[in-house]
């Protein structure tokens, strides 16, 4: 498990491109037959990728969290961004098609991740946060969530947002999670942008082709920086940072938050005049 410390906005003013990437960008999440985990001190979230091939992969406790099993003091939201697979939670089997979501609460001991085939393996994306109460395990199939239309083609941000783990959906202690899909010809997400000092957020960009790049924007509204990202990379947004971006093609992203509250609308809107 890799550890990422928190950063102060004053530090970021002097960051080089390499510094920014080292602190916020998460590359190579989906390595065949491996578990990749990044523990960020921002709200103690753990971001992960699990890519089983021929054998099942078990998610266990780690010394970094001094836990005998992963969910001893945590909850986790999971999306499958690869081929079909399944997750077994204390013996209960959940089928996970592409873009399906599973929430697993505090206290579940055995988590086994399996791919249906090794040529097109499942890619399980994880977002975990500390939890103090058990909520039931819940699966939501992508096809069963209609979603809401946001933006417009004129503004190059025509998109569909699906909220899976949130106040009116799957219940959790801290984790709020969902997926936004940009329609063809649209490239901008989350603009006009916002911060939410109550919650950190992570974006995982998917469905970008090999030659496309995301120009993700971060930083204080008056000190913006950008990170050039590829398909299947994630980026950590500290609570004080904006998080939005534009890519060279349309794409999908999974957003995940944890912190002080679970109120999706609790955002501090940033007007376009404020941005520097
Ligand atoms: O705090 C909420 C998040 O940044 C995202 O949900 C924004 C988003 O999905 C979008 O604009 O499409
Ligand atoms: Zn946000």
Task: List, for residues 198-247, the tens digit of each pLDDT value.
Answer: 999 999 999 999 999 999 999 999 999 999 999 999 999 999 999 999 99
159 Cβ closer than 6 Å to some ligand 1 atom = yes
Percent residues over pLDDT 90 in the chain: 100
Mutate to test the pocket of ligand 1, among 43, 200, 255, 258 (most ligand atoms within 8 A of CB): 255
Average pLDDT value over all residues in the chain: 98
Query: Can you tell me the mean pLDDT for 131-148?
Result: 98
Could you say which ligand is closest to the alpha carbon of residue 149?
1
Residue 196 marked in a binding site: yes
pTM above 0.90, yes or no: yes
User: Within a 13 Å sphere around the CA of 90, how many CA atoms are in the beta-carbon half?
Assistant: 11
Could you say which ligand is closest to the alpha carbon of residue 264?
1
The pLDDT score that the predictor gives to residue 184 is: 97
255 Cβ closer than 6 Å to some ligand 1 atom = yes
Query: Can you tell me the mean pLDDT for 84-89?
Result: 98
Query: Can you tell me the mean pLDDT for 73-102?
Result: 98
d(CA 167, CA 176): 8
The torsion of the CA quartet 70, 200, 31, 248, rounded to 10 degrees, works out to 160
User: Which residue owns the Cα nearest ligand 1 atom 11?
Assistant: 190
Does the interface predicted TM-score (ipTM) exceed 0.90?
A: yes
The pLDDT score that the predictor gives to residue 231 is: 98
d(CA 43, CA 65): 14
- For ligand 1, the distance from its centroid to the CA atom of residue 240, given in whole angstroms, is 15
The pLDDT score that the predictor gives to residue 55 is: 97
Residue 201 marked in a binding site: yes
- Reported as a single tens digit per residue, the pLDDT across 156-165 is 999 999 999 9
Could you say which ligand is closest to the alpha carbon of residue 177?
1
Confidence of residue 171 (pLDDT cuts 50, 70, 90): very high
């Amino acid at each position: 498990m890799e550890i990422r410390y928190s950063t102060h906005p004053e530090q970021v003013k002097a960051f080089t491109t390499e510094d920014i990437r080292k602190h916020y960008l998460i590359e190579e999440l989906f390595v065949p037959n491996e578990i990749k985990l990044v523990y960020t001190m921002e709200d103690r979230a753990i971001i992960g990728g699990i890519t089983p091939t021929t054998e099942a992969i078990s998610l266990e406790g780690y010394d970094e969290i001094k836990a005998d099993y992963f969910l001893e003091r945590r909850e986790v939201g999971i999306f499958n961004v690869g081929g079909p697979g399944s997750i077994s939670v204390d013996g209960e089997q959940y089928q996970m098609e592409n873009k399906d979501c599973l929430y697993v609460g505090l206290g579940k001991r055995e988590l086994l991740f399996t791919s249906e085939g090794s040529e097109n393996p499942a890619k399980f994306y994880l977002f975990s946060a500390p939890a103090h109460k058990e909520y039931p395990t819940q699966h939501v199939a992508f096809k069963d969530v209609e979603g809401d239309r946001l933006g417009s083609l004129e503004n190059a941000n025509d998109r569909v947002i699906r909220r899976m783990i949130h106040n009116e959906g799957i219940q959790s202690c801290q984790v709020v999670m969902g997926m936004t899909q940009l329609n063809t010809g649209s490239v901008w997400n989350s603009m006009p942008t916002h911060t939410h000092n109550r919650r950190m957020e992570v974006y995982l960009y998917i469905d970008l082709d090999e030659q496309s790049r995301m120009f993700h924007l971060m930083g204080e509204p008056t000190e913006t920086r950008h990170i050039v990202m590829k398909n299947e990379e994630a980026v950590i947004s500290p609570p004080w940072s904006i998080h939005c971006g534009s890519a060279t093609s349309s794409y999908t992203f999974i957003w995940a938050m944890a912190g002080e509250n679970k109120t999706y609308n609790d955002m501090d809107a940033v007007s376009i005049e404020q941005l520097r």
